[in-house]
């Protein structure tokens, strides 16, 4: 390769790198491990899901990031409920759409960034049981509270709640790959229980790994 050709190739690569930094929009795709915290962690275990997002770069170091995450959650075993011979089987899911302000360090091989914003969170819980008769189930995080004995088919079924929430987190980017962790808090419905009024707030800590385009 001649010196002139080498210089030309270097110029093309440099131009490509600069244009990548100057792109006004970046798309993100990834997988997420969603870990429940606090009262949510007493009922549910870490689940796994997928995420897609986009960042509008307002400058070289700032941007507006929008993300959608869908995830199944694990459960802390099937919960036995007296007087049913069979336990209550719980299938929880969470999905959320967030918008956050993003601030990132100057371009480097490893580029850290931070995010903070708001979101809309939809939690759904499906309860099932092969038991019959009457049962009393009151758990705000299951989105059901019937402190008095009721028929099992009144307790089983799917319920959901859609609420506002906040999120804050940090991550880093290396080339096209990124990793980040964010704390999410969402308000929820209020239930009257035997121990008083309880609000089914949600606290989650997703770890996301993915690629940027």
**pLDDT tens, position by position, 184-210:** 999 999 999 888 999 999 999 999 999
Which pLDDT does position 7 carry in this prediction? 46
- CA–CA–CA angle 67, 110, 33 (5° rounding): 40
Cα-Cα-Cα-Cα dihedral sign, residues 38, 39, 42, 46: negative
DSSP reduced 3-state for 159: strand
Which pLDDT does position 85 carry in this prediction? 54
Which pLDDT does position 152 carry in this prediction? 86
Burial of 59 (0-12, 13-18, 19+ CB in 10 A): exposed
Residue segments in the chain with a per-residue pLDDT below the cut of 70: 1-23, 77-86
> Up-side HSE of residue 58: CA atoms within 13 Å toward CB?
9
Which pLDDT does position 146 carry in this prediction? 84
Please state, in angstroms and rounded to a whole number, the distance separating the CA atoms of residues 86 and 155: 14
Please state, in angstroms and rounded to a whole number, the distance separating the CA atoms of residues 149 and 35: 33
CATH class, range 25-212: mainly beta
* Nearest one of 51, 25, 27 to 212, comparing CA atoms: 27
Which pLDDT does position 3 carry in this prediction? 58
Peptide bond preceding 83 in cis form (omega within 30 of 0): yes
Which pLDDT does position 19 carry in this prediction? 40
Task: Break the chain into its structural domains and give their ranges.
Answer: 25-212
Alpha helices by DSSP H, listed for 23-87, are 38-43
Average pLDDT, the chain: 87
Please state, in angstroms and rounded to a whole number, the distance separating the CA atoms of residues 182 and 60: 22
Which pLDDT does position 9 carry in this prediction? 43
């Amino acid at each position: 390769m001649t010196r002139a050709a080498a210089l030309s190739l270097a110029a093309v690569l440099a131009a490509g790198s600069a244009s990548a930094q100057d792109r006004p929009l970046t798309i993100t795709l990834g997988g997420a491990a969603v870990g429940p915290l606090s009262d949510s962690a007493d009922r549910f275990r870490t689940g796994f899901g997928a995420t897609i997002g986009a960042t509008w770069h307002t400058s070289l170091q700032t941007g507006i990031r929008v993300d959608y995450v869908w995830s199944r959650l694990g459960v802390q075993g099937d919960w036995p409920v007296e007087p049913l011979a069979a336990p209550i089987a719980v299938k929880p899911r969470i999905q959320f759409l967030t918008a956050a302000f993003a601030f990132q360090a100057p371009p480097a091989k490893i580029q850290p960034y931070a995010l903070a914003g708001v979101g809309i969170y939809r939690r759904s819980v499906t309860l099932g049981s092969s038991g019959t008769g009457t049962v009393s189930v009151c758990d705000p995080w299951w989105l059901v509270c019937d402190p008095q004995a009721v028929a099992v088919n009144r307790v089983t079924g799917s319920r959901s709640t859609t609420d506002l929430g906040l999120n804050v987190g940090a991550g880093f980017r290396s080339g096209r790959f990124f990793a980040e962790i964010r704390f999410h808090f969402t308000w929820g419905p209020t239930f009257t229980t035997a121990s008083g009024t309880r609000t089914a707030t949600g606290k989650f800590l997703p770890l996301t790994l993915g690629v940027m385009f």
